[in-house]
């Protein structure tokens, strides 16, 4: 979970010391409430903007996973921006980041063997089997005579990464269609004999709460300065109103 609280603490706002001597608690509470909520709204919008500026996620997707809880008590004005972790798994590379199969021509294309003839076939090394037509993979959009070598994906804006089936030792990277029709990217451990296969692990990108927590740590000083200035402006407004 990523949580950032915006709270007015007048004792830390040294520039307001003289003004606060002439402002009663009720007036300060009203000004503080407006200041906290204004700053919280700006911080929320800026947080969403910072996330989507570098990562290929839609603003709507990010906003669904972040909430703004505005301050309501003038005696204790505190607003919170919350990015929930519980129950929200990081996004998959497939639908969220546009994963696409890397397609190459098949080593043994259709027409290279007579269909009825018994001949060497890569279906099983060292065996003589009836020819198996190369039909591609309609579920992934791979045409006949072609096969996949892995997939490409763009998580960071302006950057495309490729994951090949032989990219790292015995790990195989690939795309597949889940039962619900969702296109997913995954990796799998394959034994030295290519038959012993481990469990499929779906690959995922960064979660909203992770990115929000990182962005807030960088923006803390900016938000604190914004709060101090905004509170000063709101106190001035209240003083002018009371004159």
Position 203 pLDDT exceeds 50: yes
Q: Which residues contact 193 (CB under 8 A, 6 or more apart)?
A: none
Domain that holds residue 78: 2-88+207-242
Lowest-confidence pick of 117-121, 130-134, 229-233: 117-121
198 shares its domain with 102: yes
Q: Tell whether 115 is covered by a domain.
A: no
Burial class (CB in 10 A: 0-12, 13-18, 19+), 138: exposed
102 shares its domain with 198: yes
Q: What is the pLDDT of residue 10?
A: 47
What share of residues in the chain are helix, strand, coil (percent, to 5)?
35, 30, 35
Per-residue pLDDT band at 116 (split at 50, 70, 90): low
For residue range 30-52, what is the model confidence (pLDDT) as tens digits?
Answer: 888 888 899 999 999 998 999 99
Strands (DSSP E) contained in 100-202 are 100-105, 118-120, 128-130, 146-153, 161-164, 171-177, 183-190, 197-202
229 shares its domain with 181: no
Q: What is the pLDDT of residue 83?
A: 86
Polymer length of the chain: 243
Would you say 208 and 65 are in contact if contact means Cβ atoms under 8 Å apart?
yes
Q: What is the pLDDT of residue 201?
A: 86
Q: Which residues contact 125 (CB under 8 A, 6 or more apart)?
A: none
Q: Tell whether 124 is covered by a domain.
A: no
Distances (CA, A) of 127 to 108, 112, 145: 15, 17, 21
159 shares its domain with 216: no
> Taking the model in full, what pTM does it have?
0.72
How many structural domains does the chain have? 2
197 shares its domain with 211: no
178 shares its domain with 232: no
Q: Tell whether 127 is covered by a domain.
A: no
């Amino acid at each position: 979970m990523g949580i950032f609280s915006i709270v007015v603490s007048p004792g830390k706002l040294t520039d307001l010391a003289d003004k606060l001597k002439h402002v009663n608690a009720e007036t300060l509470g009203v000004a503080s409430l407006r200041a906290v909520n204004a700053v919280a709204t700006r911080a929320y919008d800026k947080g969403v903007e910072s996330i989507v500026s570098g990562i290929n996620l839609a603003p709507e997707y990010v906003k669904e996973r972040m909430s703004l809880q505005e301050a309501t008590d003038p005696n204790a004005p505190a607003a919170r921006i919350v990015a929930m972790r519980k129950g929200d798994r990081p996004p998959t590379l497939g639908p969220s980041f546009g994963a696409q199969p890397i397609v190459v021509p098949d080593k043994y294309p259709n027409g290279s063997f007579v269909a009825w003839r018994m001949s060497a076939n890569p279906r099983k090394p060292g065996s003589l089997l009836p020819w198996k037509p190369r039909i591609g993979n309609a579920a992934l959009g791979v045409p006949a005579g072609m096969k996949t070598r892995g997939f490409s994906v763009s998580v960071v804006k302006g950057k495309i990464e490729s994951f090949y089936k032989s990219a790292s030792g015995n790990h195989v990277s690939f795309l597949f269609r889940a039962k619900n029709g969702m296109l997913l990217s995954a990796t799998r451990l394959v034994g030295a004999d290519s038959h012993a296969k481990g469990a499929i692990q779906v690959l995922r990108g960064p979660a909203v709460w992770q990115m929000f927590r990182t962005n807030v740590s960088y923006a803390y000083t900016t938000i604190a300065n914004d709060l101090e200035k905004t509170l000063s402006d709101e106190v001035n407004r209240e003083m002018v109103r009371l004159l």
